[in-house]
């Protein structure tokens, strides 16, 4: 029997802070200072995991210097630039905190807001997301595309957030260990995690201007986000049994085709008119073929899902909590709890 990964690992300390870093040499010192002050004020034991995503400036040396002074900081240096999502994924893999907070290195988020996020988290949520107020970025290039994207994502995933793009978020340990990230998918974690049955809350946070340097993204990101959204919607709606979705569409389309075909047959038999030149005949044939194809696509997709679940031991359920009275001398049935 296989055990799902999230049942084996258990958090080892209260808080992890994960920071993706790409060419941020001018921000690292202030980041360390502001973050240390904010986290000390919170008063929990913590670790910071900084991922150097293939920076070409002096971020490498500067991060190592911070790590030499402050053993709570762990640094992961990528071989090259793999992107913000990959950096966050590496941070999630390494994180040992009960709560995992993500924040940008450019200090656009205020580290002092972490406390508020954690307070909300303590009310019993699995994800708490920052919602940037009074955004400083350009209206047409950033804020309007971002507003439209947030509406679109909220509508199509059913998880309503005003600000999917805000990196300042807090996640439960099991959530970060349970989501698979690639592409630009990190902004969709709340949506992806929704299939685990997570409780999501949003907290207004400050938005500041970038402390130093310039943004790593341009308008082009909007298209990647939209393409990723299509994948997310697909994953969310067809996840467990794609055959049901494709099969239903196949029966509908094929059924209409069959009805049209039956009508034409009866028409020909009763009236002895020719039906060979009727466009309706072509439509009937087309719909019936389409129906068969949809159903077979569903079967193929279903087999893919089966491979996915079985080869990677993916659970088809997610557990929030277990309660059971352990009797003396009995082996724990629930490892990791
Ligand atoms: N970042 C990264 N890899 C990349 C691009 C960005 O690790 O390929 C980091 C970057 O250093 C910053 C965060 O991701 O800490 C957000 O990037 P940025 O501030 O450029 O994005 P914006 O705030 O403009 O959306
Ligand atoms: Mg930024």
Task: Note the pLDDT tens digit of each residue in 32-59.
Answer: 999 999 999 999 999 999 999 999 999 9
- The pLDDT score that the predictor gives to residue 330 is 60
Q: With 50 as the cut, is the pLDDT of residue 161 above it?
A: yes
- The pLDDT score that the predictor gives to residue 6 is 45
- The pLDDT score that the predictor gives to residue 2 is 36
Range in 105-119, 235-249, 274-288 with the lowest mean pLDDT:
235-249
How would residue 335 be classed by pLDDT, with cut points 50, 70 and 90?
Answer: low
172-187: average pLDDT: 85
Residues with CB under 6 A from ligand 1: 20-22, 24, 53, 81, 83-84, 87, 104-106, 108, 215-217
Which two three-digit tokens encode residue 332? 């724990």
Separation of 249 CA from ligand 2 center, angstroms? 43
- The pLDDT score that the predictor gives to residue 239 is 67
- The pLDDT score that the predictor gives to residue 57 is 96
Residue 142 sits at the vertex; the CA angle it makes with 128 and 200, to the nearest 5 degrees, is 15
Range in 49-53, 81-85, 185-189, 263-267 with the lowest mean pLDDT:
185-189
Q: With 70 as the cut, is the pLDDT of residue 216 above it?
A: yes
Atom of ligand 1 nearest to the CA of 22: 11
Of residues 326 and 53, the one with the higher pLDDT is 53
Separation of 105 CA from ligand 1 center, angstroms? 8
98-113: average pLDDT: 96
Separation of 168 CA from ligand 2 center, angstroms? 11
């Amino acid at each position: 029997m296989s055990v799902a990964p999230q049942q084996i690992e258990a958090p080892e300390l209260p808080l992890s802070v994960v920071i993706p870093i790409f060419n941020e040499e001018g921000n690292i010192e202030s980041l360390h200072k502001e973050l240390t002050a904010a986290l000390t004020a919170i008063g929990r034991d913590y670790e910071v995991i900084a991922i150097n995503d293939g920076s070409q400036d002096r971020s490498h040396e500067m991060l190592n210097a911070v790590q030499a002074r402050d053993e709570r900081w762990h640094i992961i240096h990528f071989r090259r630039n793999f992107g913000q999502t990959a950096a966050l994924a590496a941070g999630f893999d390494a994180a040992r905190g009960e709560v995992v907070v993500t924040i940008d290195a450019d200090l656009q988020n205020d580290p002092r807001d972490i406390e508020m996020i954690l307070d909300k988290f303590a009310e019993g949520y699995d994800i708490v997301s920052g919602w940037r107020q009074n955004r400083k970025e350009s209206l047409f290039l950033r804020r309007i595309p971002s507003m439209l994207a947030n509406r679109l994502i909220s509508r199509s995933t059913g998880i309503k957030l005003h600000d999917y793009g805000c990196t300042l978020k807090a996640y439960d340990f099991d959530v970060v260990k349970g989501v698979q990230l690639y592409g630009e998918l990190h902004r969709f974690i709340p949506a992806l995690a929704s299939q685990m049955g997570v409780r999501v809350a949003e907290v207004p946070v400050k938005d500041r201007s970038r402390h130093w340097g310039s943004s790593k993204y341009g308008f082009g990101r909007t298209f990647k986000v939209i393409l990723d959204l299509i994948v997310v919607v697909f994953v969310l709606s067809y996840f467990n049994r794609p055959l049901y979705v494709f099969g239903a569409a196949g029966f509908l389309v094929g059924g209409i085709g069959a009805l049209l075909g039956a009508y034409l047959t009866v028409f020909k038999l009763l009236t002895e008119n020719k039906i060979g030149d009727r466009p309706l005949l072509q439509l009937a044939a087309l719909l019936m073929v389409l129906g068969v194809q949809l159903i077979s696509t569903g079967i193929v997709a279903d087999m893919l899902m089966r491979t996915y679940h079985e080869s990677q031991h993916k659970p088809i359920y997610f557990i929030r909590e277990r309660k059971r009275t352990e009797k003396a001398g009995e082996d724990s049935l629930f490892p990791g709890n």
